[in-house]
Chains A and B, each alone.
Chain A
């Protein structure tokens, strides 16, 4: 189809014997890579020093010592013990003989929390559905090899970028303003963000497919949609399922915090507990979220591996 490119149309100016030519080339290459490494290390060290300084890592602050006096201390060793203090504040007094009532006191709002937990999972589920549908549909025009034209590529890519670069909490603030406080705002916020994130991931999967089946469909008189449906979708489906389950896990985590700005789910309880300094409620909520996320992660991982395994065996 294409003519062979001319080989040997560039002749080296100086003709050395091959071995010494190699020696000098190799020495030059070594020098260059050592230089690159040095420059990279210096730049990284500078960036690290600058950002840690801006991040108050070297700050010296006044702290109260155990005997009540005040003194200047470097912030990091001074602050770390307070982490233990915080955790110990959140853990309730549990005694073996009164364990039942102690737990009851710890999880005293369990009925509300369970309802909100369900709401959290439903928000995550619905948001994932929205994200999958939107991301899937847009991933084809957003793939460089499949897009019908450059304009469509540009527009879909920018849309997906905006959808995913704006954090879920910011989308949630906007949607709470639109739809008022409640789970609808959370679904819209996480769904929009997931559309952007999944659209990007899916489109990268699309860019790695074999184009020959699509050509086969095209040559038979198929439309662009036919080429996508028959040529591309069967190839990308296992990856899409895998990424979708992964996204559901991420969305459960997101939806458990999104209530912080009033967008439904357990987050609103976290906010209340924090503002009233109910440290033990915080630990109870944390345990609920932790266990839920763990169960969902475990289940979806099993499912994902099954999908991948099916792929490997067929």
Chain B
């Protein structure tokens, strides 16, 4: 029961629209879960609900037996630290250097004054450099984040997430803005963290190929509902066609050609 993430009847409405509709999921620690679906299926909202960037209209989210939806103030910030979030658009501060961007992952541990003065300890800086080293980004540490390529920026975001010492890693379409080579590097990075650090990873994807290549378990969503929940091998083209129809299948496979990441087995090296 330690580290189980459980979503029970989670619903979120935006006005008339139900973005997430009575979702039930139970995610065991250490799993690498891919969430697939077309844009507008509610994948993004679901991750935001877990990180509490969005509050649910109904239902409960719990982690390790703690009701996440009830958290306020400091406890809520501690929860956000525990479930690190990677965004499609990286959400880095372009005008700050890479090192400071990574150190933002430590802010939940800081008091008001040290945070406002941007004062970090040597130990924290060491952590940051180690994380950047894991992602091959030490030479860029003092560059402004905005000057980096998309793939590098996403890896900076992963380094920042690592500094949070999270228990879960949420990634919202982390490779949708990247070219295939960089997409592969980012997905390999997430997989490495999953296996080496035993972190639960929950990643939104819009391509079947990538999901099949990396994920132990795939959750398919449509119109806010979970339509499929099983292993990659269970998610055959027939199942996908049943869920999304023929055009849906074509859409997923078409998307594969643009920004799919295929596992290379190699980690971190390539351009």
Binding site for B on A (CB under 8 A): 1-4, 212-213, 215-223, 225-226, 229-231, 234-235, 237, 314
Contact = CB atoms under 8 A, between A and B. Distances in A.
Contacts of B80: 218-221
B256 to A, nearest CB: 22
B52 to A, nearest CB: 9
Which 6 A-B residue pairs are closest in the complex by CB-CB distance? A221-B108, A216-B91, A221-B81, A219-B85, A234-B95, A221-B77
B271 interface: no
A237 B51 CA distance: 30
A38 B265 CA distance: 73
B244 to A, nearest CB: 15
B84 interface: yes
A227 to B, nearest CB: 9
A217 B107 contact: yes
B39 to A, nearest CB: 8
A215 B19 CA distance: 20
Interface in B10-28: 14, 17, 19
Contacts of A4: 40
Nearest to A228: B116
Contacts of B31: none
A217 B107 CA distance: 8
Contact of B42 (A1, A216, A218, A222): A1
B104 A220 contact: yes
Interface string B31-65: 00000000110101100000101000000000000
Given A1-B44, A3-B223, A222 B77 contact: yes
9 contacts: A1-B44, A2-B19, A212-B90, A216-B91, A219-B53, A223-B77, A226-B104, A234-B95, A235-B94
Given A212-B89, A226-B107, A1 B19 contact: yes
Interface of B: 14, 17, 19, 39-40, 42, 44-45, 51, 53, 77-81, 84-85, 87, 89-96, 100, 104-105, 107-108, 110, 112, 115-116, 118, 144, 157, 160-161, 164, 223
Given A216-B92, A218-B53, A219-B51, A230 B14 contact: no
Interface class of chain B by DSSP: mixed
Contact of B91 (A1, A212, A235, A237): A212
A229 B113 CA distance: 11
Contacts of B115: 222-223, 225-226, 229
Given A1-B19, A226-B107, A314-B144, A215 B91 contact: yes
B40 A3 contact: yes
A284 to B, nearest CB: 48
A221 B107 contact: yes
Contacts of A314: 144
Contacts of B95: 234-235, 237
> Of A221, A223, A229, which is in contact with the most chain B CB atoms at under 10 Å from its CB?
A221
Contacts of A218: 53, 80
B87 A3 contact: no
Contact of A225 (B78, B89, B104, B116): B116
A145 to B, nearest CB: 15
Nearest to A234: B95
B116 A229 contact: yes
Contacts of A1: 19, 39-40, 42, 44-45
Given A212-B89, A213-B91, 19 more contacts: A2-B14, A3-B223, A4-B40, A212-B91, A213-B92, A213-B94, A216-B160, A219-B80, A220-B105, A222-B107, A222-B108, A223-B115, A225-B112, A225-B115, A226-B104, A230-B93, A230-B118, A231-B93, A234-B94
